[in-house]
A and B are shown apart, each in its own frame.
Chain A
Amino acid sequence: MNEQQHGDHPASNESMQVSLFVTCLADLFRPAVAFASIKLLEQANCEVTVPPSQTCCGQPAYNSGDYEATVPLARKVIEILEPADYVVVPSGSCAGMICQHYPRLLEGEWRDRALQLASKTFELTTFLTQIAKIQPLSEQSTELPTITYHDACAGLRELNIKEQPRQLLQELCGVAVKELDQSDVCCGFGGTFCAKMPEISGKMVGDKLDNALATGAKILTGGDLGCLLNLAGRAQRQGEDLEIRHIAELLCGDLDTPPIGQSGQR
């Protein structure tokens, strides 16, 4: 066995030092995602810290074209995260922001630092399948009902996240994803887009939800809270009987937390 292959199995006693970038949406709307992420990372033999002064990666201002307001925030995020060995983010779009857009936005020394950070920053499911490979727990965890998966655009196209969550659902939970039609089409969230162009966004999220419902799955999951809040909000508006949960919650068997947008008091 050569060095490389050996390195692929961090089941040895050396654990990896990981900083969790919680993301603002998980921090504010869905702590369950962050707790689940920590649990999964620990299960993959990582030592997790949560840098306390983190807030938001800056996507709202950046995507709206306010680069001037984003630059100082991006620098701040770099300062907070760069001491880490690895940075893990439970969101494709926030990981994409750090990996792809910080280097595009910043210049000079800051660009170099952004590239450095990008090289050790990973979206959660990618990290768990490619860097710290998670092993299933010996005891069978919660049995999951049928699941369909929404491929969030930023994760899909900026970070090639496609197989990773499916593989994890298969390996950790023993479920195969029921694929939804038009899975590579946007759900209409788009950050501030959904509030700036609500009618168009409404049409798009309506279509996405129809496709999800057509799979007959009980749970719709995905890796990006922005999309999931959008979808959950629409599902609630239409009164659909569909549970929407983040992939991290499912992977660690958390079905106790009420689904996104539901009270659990039904």
Chain B
Amino acid sequence: MEQRSNTFLDNASEALKNTGQAKRRDSMARLTPLLRSAAIEDAGDFESLRQQMKQVRQHSLDNLAHYLTQFEQEAVHNGNRMHFARDAEELNSIVLDICQQHDARRVVKGKSMVTEETGLNSFLQRAGLDVMETDLGEYIIQQAVETPSHIVTPALHKSAEEVRELFKDKHDLGPRALEDTTDMVAEARQVLREHFLKAEVGIIGANALIAENGYSMLVTNEGNGDLCANLPKTLIVCTTIDRILPRAEDATAMLRLLARSATGQSQTAYTSFYSGPSRDGDVDGPQETHIVLLDNARSEMLTGDYREMLECIRCGACLNHCPIFASVGGHAYGWVYPGPMGSVLTPLLTSLEQSNALPNACTSCGRCAEVCPADIPLPDLLRDLRHEETLEKLSPSRWRLGLKLHAWVSQQPWLYRALTATIIPLLHLMGRRRGSFTRLPFASGWTNERNFPAPQKKTFMQLYKAGMKKPNE
């Protein structure tokens, strides 16, 4: 996927001008936190649940090699074929090889952010395969030739009206008008059924890999994951190495928080565990199953400063609670993962140079960290990335030098007092009549959007030194 993270400000500006989408984002931003908090309240003590989750995730990562080996053994024992991919290209070619070995021409896919990350669809399409997304949201954006705007609800940016127009354009509707969303869902289901039945290969992602039994776990609301996994003869599970959990009960602990954090459901409609190819006597199921585990910078993250980010369970709660995500939407972030988690991941998975605007798209308000079921200190990680940005001199030099100068002057009290005692009374005089400035040469960023309040007569330190008790005396 082509990356446009560094034009974040322009992307954001565009997004803000699209008032229809902005309105829908606003109402989602009001709704999703309410849904989540009701569901979380229901679950019991959130703090202890997430600490439990965090311990499990930390333990899994601390012993990643061990659990990966165990998972591999168990998965192979269950009849799966295991593949490890170092990077996006490797994953794509492994998947293509499997498809070609089976002379497959049609592929159906469940929702998978990992394959978005590797750009699998376009890779397979270029090789002549017909790839069909089957998650309704993914299907919609595939038809519209767009990219996901949210990691859980990829077509969040689309209105019902737009979807109707899209289906009118792409489907042979005949006299059907698709009046309400139920009609549209039925329409998509109808079309997708055909694809499920014809496909030779199914590709799905995984929410977790369970080391003790070699199962992969997937949650969906539409059941399309199960159809992708069970109808085609060959199944390929694509996910990353950090999805590993030691035991089945750890997956249960994760399930307690995942859907609640993501959509405010106590549970998704479907929770599936895939063991491997169908066995004698099974009524359905694939004949051959592959599991492709992608690294793509994860093992680097494991030993680096941003390791905690690997604990993410991809619930999307941080997106739903981020006022900046709510303002500009997912596309503005310019790559696969948006919002707070995306602003950490994108620099780590691509490069800071290509995406250093993203860690700056944060007011450190802390709402994301407050709700994150993996208890990831997202604002701290984003600040640490800004630290790297500073060290690598990627931010504009006038900002960097200005802040350095400010910090230095702040350590010289006499100079600081002398400067402020000159500037503040002057600013007061200039702004006294209106009380605020509509424009100030050194603060255009501020004054583009709001006035700059004028200071009171003198600094507090001036007044206090003169023995005054009130600023107006």
Contacts and interface: CB of A to CB of B under 8 A. Distances in A.
Contacts of B362: 190, 193
| Highest count of chain B CB atoms <10 Å: which of A73, A198, A200, A262 | A200
A65 B366 contact: no
B222 to A, nearest CB: 31
| Highest count of chain A CB atoms <10 Å: which of B9, B410, B464 | B410
A30 B455 contact: yes
Nearest to A156: B366
B459 A28 contact: yes
Contact of B446 (A50, A61, A198): A198
B434 interface: yes
B456 A65 contact: no
Interface string B342-374: 000000000000000001111111110110000
Interface residues of A, number: 79
A60 interface: yes
Contacts of A62: 383
Contact of A56 (B9, B410, B454): B410
A126 B438 CA distance: 35
Interface stretch (A115-123, A167-175, A180-188, A213-221): A180-188
Contacts of B438: 237
State the main secondary structure of chain B at its contact with A. helix
A153 B367 contact: yes
B378 to A, nearest CB: 12
A157 B445 contact: no
Interface in A1-59: 22, 24, 26-32, 34-35, 38-39, 50, 52-56, 58
Nearest to B8: A197
A182 B30 contact: yes
A130 interface: no
| Highest count of chain A CB atoms <10 Å: which of B13, B324, B361, B468 | B324
A214 to B, nearest CB: 13
Given A66-B390, A260-B453, A73 B407 contact: yes
B462 to A, nearest CB: 8
Contacts of B432: 263, 265
B453 A31 contact: no
B65 interface: no
A70 interface: yes
Given A69-B403, A233-B451, 6 more contacts: A35-B469, A54-B413, A67-B390, A69-B407, A73-B407, A204-B363
Interface of A: 22, 24, 26-32, 34-35, 38-39, 50, 52-56, 58, 60-70, 72-73, 76, 104, 153-154, 157-158, 182, 184-186, 188-205, 207, 229-230, 232-234, 236-237, 254, 256-258, 260-265
